[in-house]
Amino acid sequence: MKPWRLTLTNQLVIGYGLHRRMDNYATRPANEDELKDFHGDDYLEFLKRVTPHNTQEFANDLSKFNIGDDCPIFDGIWDYCSLYAGASLDAAKKLINHQSDIAINWSGGLHHAKKSEASGFCYINDIVLAILQLLRYHPRVLYIDIDVHHGDGVEQAFFSTDRVMTLSLHKYDKDNFFPGTGNWDDIGGGAGKHYALNVPLKDGIDDDSYVRLFKQIVEPVIEKYRPTAVVLQCGADSLGSDKLGCFNLNIKAHGACVEFVKGFGLPLLVLGGGGYTPRNVSRLWTYETAICLGAEIEDDLPARTPYREFFGPDYKLHPPLSKEGKYENKNTKKYLESMRVKIMEHLRFLDGAPSVQLQEIPPDLDNVRSELVKQEED
């Protein structure tokens, strides 16, 4: 999760000349009021004040806010959090203002963070904040997560509203794989019942199986829910050869999911996420940047790219990543079809796309509801 993987991504994007085909913006740090749209005051105050040198002063808060091995305290933690969150917020605003059809923030996508708790390398949930921003304008937002881990923080934030539908495809093992949530019967509650969709997968899923299932699910979800904007979390730990992942996906298969979502022509916010083999993370996000731009790029990495030595010995954009022999594909056709059928069954419970006026809005979204009412009155 260190910024090194973003440095490599940036250099590849520039090396291929992709930066010339899009608008580029400097990151603006999110202010505290913006972060309070979702996160608790005491948790934000803790993040703002804690450093590696004064952690003893906050000994009682470390366990309270789930600080530990997965979420350590490091120098500059507040700046880091406010910068990646500010980038996602501004990306959402570009979509709202019609300045962009697709907005990308590869530093975002930290989907595990909770209201007052860090989790799974995530401190601030920029995704929730960006979706809240989109809800000021858009009546319905679809969130899709293709990280190898369940997008639990985002699902939890919108668990009881139908204004946001969450769809997560991930490895699921309640006892042995983080975060141990996201089984097929995890479907939301209250007004949000059946608006949380989960596709639990087993080790070793391959390109064809994953892409086929993704398309078979995403298309009917969009047709039924009719979102007016989509947020796509593109965690790279679902690639083969990832240090923490257990799938057999290659870069083109992961990118095929991005291309499929892009094809619906909806305002699209594209975010990063997990990914723990930096050279492959940067390959993937460069390729998916090209997909968003509709650009064709060569498999040979640009010759004068800084840090090119980290991509040896092949120096290719698409090295074979499927770890055959290490992760057997345990996802049978019968199992995958059963997951597709379960999602279709959940969709049948929906009466169609919900209207804004009839929503039950959870407390965290009260500020959004107030603004929508004011817009309608105006």
Is residue 1 scored above 80 in pLDDT?
Answer: no
Residues 6+ apart with CB under 8 A from 376: 357
Q: Bigger pLDDT: 365 or 307? A: 307
Averaged pLDDT for residues 346-366? 64
pLDDT bin (cut points 50, 70, 90) of residue 323 is low
pLDDT (tens digit per residue) in 89-101: 999 999 999 999 9
Q: What angle do CA 290, 251, 281 make, to 5 degrees?
A: 80
What local confidence, expressed as pLDDT, does residue 377 receive? 46
Cis before 313? omega within 30 = yes
The CATH number linked to 37 is 3.40.800.20
Question: Measured between alpha carbons, how far is 271 from 188 in angstroms, rounded to an integer?
Answer: 23
Who contacts 31 (Cβ-Cβ below 8 Å, separation ≥6)?
A: 82
Rounded (to 5) percent helix, strand, coil in the chain: 45, 10, 45
Q: Which residues are catalytic?
A: 112
For residue 358, is pLDDT > 60?
no
**Strands across the sheet containing 141-145:** 102-105, 268-271, 229-233, 141-145, 164-171, 196-201
Q: How confident is the model at residue 327 (pLDDT cuts 50, 70, 90)?
A: confident
Give the pLDDT score at 373: 42
| For residue 2, pLDDT beyond 90 | no
pLDDT of 369: 43
| Predicted local distance difference test score (pLDDT) of residue 69 | 86
Cα dihedral 276→277→279→280 (10° resolution): -90
Cis peptide before 179 (omega within 30 of 0): yes
pLDDT at 365: 54
Q: What proportion of the chain, given as a percentage, has pLDDT over 90?
A: 89
Give per-residue pLDDT as tens, 53-94: 999 999 999 999 999 989 999 999 999 999 999 999 999 999
229 vs 95: CA distance, rounded Å: 9
Using left for φ > 0, alpha for ψ between -120 and 50, and beta otherwise, residue 194 falls in left
Average pLDDT, the chain: 93
What is the rounded CA–CA span in Å between residue 165 and residue 20? 34
At residue 322 the predicted structure's pLDDT band, cuts being 50, 70 and 90, is confident
Q: Taking the CA atoms of 124, 128, 132 and 138 in sequence, report the sign of the dihedral they define.
A: positive
pLDDT(356) > 90: no
End-to-end CA distance of the chain: 44
| pLDDT tens track for 215-270 | 999 999 999 999 999 999 999 999 999 999 999 999 999 999 999 999 999 999 99
pLDDT of residue 101: 98
pLDDT tens digits, one per residue of 162-194: 999 999 999 999 999 999 999 999 999 999 999
Reference 343, options 260, 228, 219, 231; nearest CA is: 219
* Contacts (Cβ under 8 Å, ≥6 apart) of 76: none
Query: What local confidence, expressed as pLDDT, does residue 73 receive?
Result: 96
pLDDT at residue 359 is higher than 70? no
Average pLDDT over residues 15-32: 96
Residue with the larger pLDDT of the pair 289 and 375:
289
Residue set of the binding site: 70, 120, 147, 149, 237, 276
Number of domains in the chain: 1
- Amino acid identity for residue 241 in this structure: S
Query: What sign results for the dihedral spanned by CA atoms 68, 114, 179, 253?
Result: negative
Q: Is residue 9 very low, low, confident or very high in pLDDT (cuts 50, 70, 90)?
A: very high
- Alpha-carbon distance of 170 to 198, in angstroms, equals 8
Alpha-helical segments (H) within the chain: 4-15, 32-35, 41-49, 59-64, 77-96, 126-134, 152-157, 207-225, 251-262, 278-293, 333-348, 366-377
pLDDT category, 281, cuts 50, 70, 90?
Answer: very high
- Give residue 132's domain range: 3-376
Rounded to whole angstroms, the Cα distance separating 15 from 8 reads: 10
- Checking if the pLDDT of 371 tops 70, the result is no
